[in-house]
Structure 1
Amino acid sequence: MTTATAELLTVPDVMARLKLGRSKVYDLIRSHRLASIKIDGARRVPAEAVRDFIQKQLTEAA
């Protein structure tokens, strides 16, 4: 997947996918555990970053 075709998610999208609250999602972004970008003040999270985060959590739990 290239950057040009990456799916960008809003914070509410990430909240729904991870079943987490808004504050927790922003905590993950702030602590660099979840990658994100800012586009003219709008925070977006690549869908691949969410998948990577989930995979890392599964690996750490094993």
Structure 2
Amino acid sequence: MTTPAPRITPAPTCPPDQVGLCAKCHKPTHRYGFGGNPLCPVCREAVLAPQKPKKTMAA
């Protein structure tokens, strides 16, 4: 069995006092203050992906 490749998350571009760990993968992310989120961008995208409407092509 192969191990999955590690996910790379970009370093937060916010002040250091607004950095915290992602609630899911525990990587550093912009967690506190304006624009903060408990999930890193990678985990947030994984959560929101099933909720996005599917694009359908008009015939």
TM-score bracket for the superposition, by shorter chain length? under 0.3
TM-score by length of 2: 0.28
Larger radius of gyration, structure 1 or 2? 2
Q: Which one has more relative contact order, counting CA pairs under 8 Å at least 6 apart?
A: 1
Higher strand proportion, which one?
1
